[in-house]
Structure 1
Amino acid sequence: MIPITSLATMGLTALLLFIAIFGRYIFFSLAFGWLFARSVRDQSTRRLIQDRLRKPGQQWREIGWSVLTSIIFTAIGLGVMVAYQTGHTKIYTDFHAYGLLWYPMSIGLVLFIQETYYYWLHRWMHRPGVYRWVHKIHHDSLTTSPWTAFSFHPLESTLQAILLPVLIIVLPIHSTAICLILIIMTLSGAINHLNTEIYPHAFDRHWLGRWLIGATHHSLHHSQFRYNYGLYFTFWDKWMKTESADFHRLFTQKSKKGA
């Protein structure tokens, strides 16, 4: 980590951080788009969820909003780095400082808190007086792709990003665990917006798969609006009965070989 001791080093750090954040978004979007484009073209194994065409210029609009999102994430990340270097966080680098068991537990705890925070934030963003000002930008993408994953109004980007900095102030988290969490966030965003179901047939009934959100689950949120508010996991949707009744039927249809 670059010691931030002057405006010059702060500017360099911000630039490198932006390249890392926006570059990660570009990498995952290109990689997933390339890897699964074949299944979209090949009608014998087609798993495309929404058949409607994406709007003209949609990808460039999404990239434009994603640039703003990456700038906001960069500013917050820079704040976290300054807070760490001034001793105002509980980020640690010694694996043995809190015991090896705490490492996976801390990741699981952060993901659970993120899931809970985002589920209720997401439902709030769908309130009529809030939706058009905060969340509509993201839902302008009715047919999604990995490029949709960072396409947010700046206020929504900020609301999504502030939780992790708050957590590292109060919760001991290893520096590499933070990196893993950020990768999980980006990977999940790309998978969920892929518009192509990549999970195997009947995975929605599997002991693990029934709790994981994928492209079919989240695509229904973009098409139905009133269901499937989760981020990584389905448990809040199940507990609050906001999981779409169409999910299992559509998953079976789209994940079946030859669909």
Structure 2
Amino acid sequence: MSSAQTDEHGQARDRRGEWRPKKPAGFMPLLDWPQRPAAVAKWFFGVPGFFAPWYAVYVALTCLAYFVFTPELTRMETLALEWVLLILLRNIALITIFTGGLHLWLYRVRGQGRKTKYNGNWMAKNDRRFLFHNQVFDNVVWSMIGTLVWSLYEIGLWWGYANGVLPYSANPVWFVLWMILMPFWRNFHFYWIHRLIHWPPLYRTIHYLHHKNVNVGPWSGMAMHPIEHILYFSCMLIHLVVPSHPLHMMFNGLTTALGPGVSHSGFDELVFGDETALKKEKLMHYLHHRYHTVNFGESAVPLDKWFGSFHDGTPEADSHFRTRRSRDRA
């Protein structure tokens, strides 16, 4: 990265005002060969790592929602507005508090200024590409439509569990294993759905709406066309065929809905004061919004590396993809 300026935090930014962390984007080491047991253990149990902080946050929120804000299973044997509305309102509250909280700290209060912000600009106002000419308002509207889609999937699956038509398992070993495997399933599903909607006819009619957000913020993650929401949350349909506990289904849906707020926050870290920082390391997906044709997946499953679409954020990768783009156009 060529340094054209230094921001108020002493971070070097290029001529576009972009900042890149020193550590390039990368994948979990579980599928590396030869295996490095120490690196795998650090990735699972370190901070940041697989379990902390974000996996633990999503598990805690899932348990809170399940044990405190979910109706009894017997009430869900029949579709009724009473419990259906409760699920919808609970999910609206979850995304408002979680994604809205990230937005409040990073973009309203600007509690850490531009420190570790990938793009030096703030979110767009008076921009005719967005509803109400305001990027944040636009993103919130589409996110709430996505929350409705998430809730409809969950309501249908709850009805299936209540009526005994879904494969159910409470085996403790399988319960723990399936909870651990869930992020890998979501990564795998997301990659292929994402590649599908980058097919030009679907991109022009559906996915373009999400990619209006080049400079992303927390609400950008769920700012999608309703058809894309349906495809995106179809990862929850795995519970139609794989024996699961309802907690698995809720965890799957909740991480699918709240995870984009983290991956689209536009910052590498959440910084509180001078010393406390919570790593997010979401450079990989920021680069997808920056370049559009790279990094279709996430870091748990290295499908982008296997299929040649991985960009790690280094100047060497920039040069490689510029060369490839020029060659493809020629």
Q: Which one-letter code corresponds to 2:240 in the other structure?
A: I
* In the alignment, structure 1 residue 192 sits paired with structure 2 residue 269: no
Residue 205 (structure 2) aligned to one of 98, 111, 133: 133
Aligned in 2, Cα 1:5/1:237: closer, same or farther, shift over 3 Å? closer
CA RMSD of aligned residues (A): 2.6
**Distance in structure 2 (CA, Å) of the matches to 1:109 and 1:167:** 12
Match of residue 168 from structure 1? 239
Q: Percent identity?
A: 20
- 1:63-82 matched pairs, under 5 angstroms: 63-82=140-159
Q: Which ranges of 4 or more aligned residues in structure 1 deviate by more than 6 Å? A: none
Match of residue 153 from structure 1? 225
Structure with bigger gyration radius:
2
Residue 143 (structure 1) aligned to one of 202, 215, 233: 215
More helix by share: 1
Match of residue 203 from structure 1? none
Contact 1:115 1:231 in 2 (8 A): yes
Match of residue 206 from structure 1? none
Residue 116 (structure 2) aligned to one of 47, 50, 73: 47
**Distance in structure 2 (CA, Å) of the matches to 1:199 and 1:4:** 39
Contact 1:25 1:150 in 2 (8 A): no
Contact 2:149 2:230 in 1 (8 A): yes
Residue 103 (structure 1) aligned to one of 159, 170, 175: 175
**Distance in structure 1 (CA, Å) of the matches to 2:122 and 2:191:** 28
Q: Deviations over 1:170-203 (max 9, x none)?
A: 2122222333333433442121101010189xxx
Q: With CA pairs under 8 Å and 6+ residues apart, which has the higher RCO, 1 or 2?
A: 1
Residue 236 (structure 1) aligned to one of 277, 280, 303: 303
**Distance in structure 2 (CA, Å) of the matches to 1:173 and 1:87:** 12
Residue 49 (structure 1) shift: 0.5
Q: TM-score, normalised by structure 2?
A: 0.62
Aligned in 2, Cα 1:217/1:125: closer, same or farther, shift over 3 Å? same
Where 1:157 maps in the other structure, the secondary structure is helix
Contact 1:199 1:214 in 2 (8 A): no
Residue 28 (structure 1) aligned to one of 98, 102, 107: 98
Q: Which one-letter code corresponds to 1:38 in the other structure?
A: G
The runs of 5 or more residues in structure 1 that have no matched partner are 201-208, 251-259
**Distance in structure 2 (CA, Å) of the matches to 1:167 and 1:181:** 10
The runs of 5 or more residues in structure 2 that have no matched partner are 1-70, 126-133, 272-278, 318-330
